[in-house]
């Protein structure tokens, strides 16, 4: 708990050097490299009577939530969202138990799952889920750096669209590389993809 102070604004940074980000729709949570955005700010709240538990409120006034909805049907991992709880059951879904992991923390939900930062190809890229910690190899995926926001008023969203555009370009470039590797040399697909990649990313 030494990483957190009641009422303070923090940012949570993943192993991918991206920040936990609350979208304007008041529901979606993802990762973003735009650390200067107010949407990466989360206000710490202690749970009354449960000093080992925390809530994290987004800049939209909604709470980081371990939902029951699957991220993808038939795939392990559930969605993490923003919500405003209204029942006792719903309140438990916005309560997180921090567990120290060196100079990082893991955030454990009431379902004994952990807040997880995903990478890879879409739709996994930059997504946030909560999942059981089955393999030691994914310890980094559920470990977060906590950064105290000293001057929350100084945060700026002006560069947000630029940062998101760069992230989309990076994603598209990666997908194009994967398709090129899978296609035969000098095939029509390979030739077309090479031209598109040169035009878009050079």
Predicted pLDDT at 174: 46
SS3 label, residue 135: coil
∠ Cα 82 145 14 (to 5°)? 60
Burial of 188 (0-12, 13-18, 19+ CB in 10 A): exposed
Element (H, E) at 60: none
Q: What pLDDT tens digit does each residue of the chain (202 aa) get? A: 678 988 899 999 999 999 999 999 999 999 999 999 999 999 999 999 998 999 999 999 999 999 999 999 878 799 999 999 988 778 999 999 999 999 999 999 999 999 999 999 999 999 999 999 877 778 899 999 999 998 766 566 655 554 554 544 444 444 444 444 454 556 555 555 455 545 444 3
- pLDDT of 159 reads 52
- pTM, two decimal places: 0.76
Q: Give pLDDT, residue 202.
A: 39
CA dihedral 108, 55, 64, 96 (to 10 degrees): 10
The three-state secondary structure class of 120 is coil
């Amino acid at each position: 708990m030494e990483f957190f102070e009641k009422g303070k604004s923090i940012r949570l940074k993943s192993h991918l050097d991206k920040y936990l980000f609350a979208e304007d729709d008041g529901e979606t949570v993802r990762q973003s490299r735009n650390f200067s955005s107010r949407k990466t700010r989360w206000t710490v709240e202690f749970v009354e009577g449960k000093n080992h538990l925390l809530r994290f409120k987004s800049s939209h006034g909604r709470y980081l939530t371990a939902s029951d909805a699957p991220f993808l049907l038939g795939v392990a991992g559930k969605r993490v969202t923003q919500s405003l709880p209204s029942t006792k059951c719903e309140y438990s879904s916005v309560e997180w138990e921090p567990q120290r992991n060196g100079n990082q923390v893991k955030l454990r939900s009431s379902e004994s799952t952990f807040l997880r930062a995903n990478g890879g190809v879409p739709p996994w890229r930059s997504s946030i889920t909560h999942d059981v910690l089955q393999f030691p190899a994914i310890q980094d995926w559920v470990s977060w750096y906590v950064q105290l926001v000293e001057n929350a008023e100084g945060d700026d969203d002006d560069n947000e669209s630029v940062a998101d555009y760069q992230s989309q370009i990076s994603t598209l470039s990666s997908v194009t590389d994967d398709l090129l590797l899978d296609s035969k040399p000098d095939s029509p697909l390979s030739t077309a993809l090479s031209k598109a990649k040169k035009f878009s990313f050079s």
